[in-house]
Amino acid sequence: MFNKLSKVFTVLMVVVLFGTVVTSAFAAEEDIVAIAAGNEDFSTLVTALTEAGLVETLQGEGPFTVFAPTNEAFAKLPEGTLDALLADIPTLQNILLYHVVPGNVMAADVVQLDSASTAEGSPVAIRVEDGNVYINDAQVVTTDIEASNGVIHVIDTVILPPADEQMEPEMAPEMQDMDIVDTAVADGRFTTLATALTEAGLIDTLKGEGPFTVFAPTDDAFNALPDGALEGLLADIPALTDVLLYHVVPGKVMAADVVQLDSANTVLGKPVDITVQDGNVFVNDAQVIITDIETSNGVIHVIDSVLLPPADAPAALPETGGEGTGNMLIVFLALGLILIAGGYSVLRFRPVANK
């Protein structure tokens, strides 16, 4: 009886071991994209790869090491950022390629590194703290998901390339040759701002010399105003002008400089507050979601809310002559810069002290 039970147990163990080997073999036969597509936690990543035209790339021979953000990681991006990325393929491609390291780098090898060069061209920082591994500021939560053409490590945050890597080098000069109005019109995602420019008669002025820094609200930002507020502004040109001027800072202030400030004086004459919280930059209560969009006459940083000047701000600019004419020039430029703010580089601000 004992011998029979022993034989049965042996057969069962062989079946279990064989099944484990077969399962592993089938898993290893799936490429990186197939594994991601088979896991509902990566549905946003798969959508992004499809939109960016990178599916075939990551189905290639490789090997590749992918630091894969989960759906929750994408959901942590500022509101509207994911939609902006999906509509801006060059930037989306750069961000996705920043998650890919050439070669098959297993977890045991990752922890031996302090950085790794990505397929996007710029490196990611790697560190170990309290037994946890971080890629830039993203924590690795699952490791060594092996595929036929590489390995996946799961991270809890989308990692973003440095600001100067968000734009393809060959595209930057062409974009910087465009003035505010041309850039804005070419974008297509600032229709509310375009309408405001037209109603205010500011198109010609926005082709002026500058330079100006514009904190530019998106269409969604305008839509978030209370019911009737936008219509009221479009019917009240002096008030519309004040609001637009409150989004404009004289000079060209890049993201690295903005994070060093606690306030900035606007063309309207009233300052805006600048704060950094959890790696994000806020202008008053508006979060900056896109930075350093350079044009021939300034730079734009996109914000997710419309800034409203203090109640004691001037109601309107002088209609003619002298200083009033100069201020109107700035207003026009402000609007154009806002329009531009489009989707050329999406990232969150990082305080320089944290770099």
201/70 same-domain check? no
Residue 306 CA to residue 286 CA, distance in Å, equals 7
Question: In CATH, what number is assigned to the domain containing residue 313?
Answer: 2.30.180.10
Q: Are residues 90 and 117 in the same domain?
A: yes
Q: Is residue 154 located within the same domain as residue 196?
A: no
Q: Do 100 and 55 belong to one domain?
A: yes
**Between 1 and 336, where is the model more confident?**
1
Domain boundary pick from 136, 161, 186: 161
Q: Could you tell me the pLDDT band of residue 346, with boundaries at 50, 70 and 90?
A: very low
In a domain, 310, yes or no: yes
Shared domain for 134 and 217, answered yes or no, is: no
From 161, 194, 225, give the residue that closes a domain. Answer: 161
For 152, the 3-state DSSP assignment is strand
Examine the domain organization and report whether 176 and 155 are in the same domain: no
Average pLDDT over residues 12-28: 43
Give the tokens for residue 295. 């044009």
Q: Is 89 within the bounds of a domain?
A: yes
The mean predicted confidence, pLDDT, of the chain is 76
Q: What is the pLDDT of residue 354?
A: 36
| Alpha-helical runs (H) found in the chain | 2-29, 32-37, 43-52, 55-58, 71-75, 81-86, 89-97, 107-110, 172-176, 180-187, 191-200, 219-223, 229-234, 237-245, 255-258, 322-340
Which of 105, 127, 161 is where one domain is finished? 161
| Total structural domains within the chain | 2
Q: Do 157 and 176 fall within a single domain?
A: no
- pLDDT tens track for 112-122: 999 998 888 88
Q: Residue 159's closest CA among 128, 126, 113?
A: 126
Instruction: Write the CB contacts of 232 (distance below 8 Å, at least 6 apart in sequence).
Output: 239
Question: CA-CA distance, 192 to 196, in Å (whole number)?
Answer: 6
Q: How confident is the model at residue 3 (pLDDT cuts 50, 70, 90)?
A: low
- Does the pLDDT at position 221 exceed 80? yes
Chain segment 30-57, per-residue pLDDT in tens? 999 999 999 999 999 999 999 988 998 8
Most confident of 13-27, 29-43, 84-98, 203-217: 29-43
Does 61 share its domain with 202? no
Helices then strands, each counted (H, E), the chain: 16, 14
Please check whether residues 130 and 188 belong to one and the same domain.
no
65 lies in the same domain as 147:
yes
Which pairs with CB-CB distance under 8 Å and at least 24 residues apart come from 280-287?
280/78, 280/348, 280/349, 281/255, 281/348, 281/349, 283/215, 283/307, 286/215, 286/217, 286/221, 287/78
Same domain, 176 and 154: no
Confidence of residue 329 (pLDDT cuts 50, 70, 90): very low
Report if residue 54 sits inside a domain: yes
In a domain, 279, yes or no: yes
Inside any domain, residue 264: yes
pLDDT band at 347 (very low <50, low <70, confident <90, very high): very low
User: Does the pLDDT of residue 95 top 90, yes or no?
Assistant: yes
- Per-residue confidence band for 163, with pLDDT thresholds at 50, 70 and 90: low
Give the model's pLDDT for residue 334: 43
In a domain, 340, yes or no: yes
In a domain, 26, yes or no: no
Q: Is residue 156 part of a domain?
A: yes
Per-residue pLDDT at 216 exceeds 70: yes
Q: Which tops the pLDDT comparison, 183 or 111? A: 111
What is the domain extent for residue 232? 172-354
Q: Are residues 196 and 343 in the same domain?
A: yes
Angle at 34 between CA 31 and CA 40, to 5 degrees: 140
Closest CA to 92 of 41, 55, 37: 55
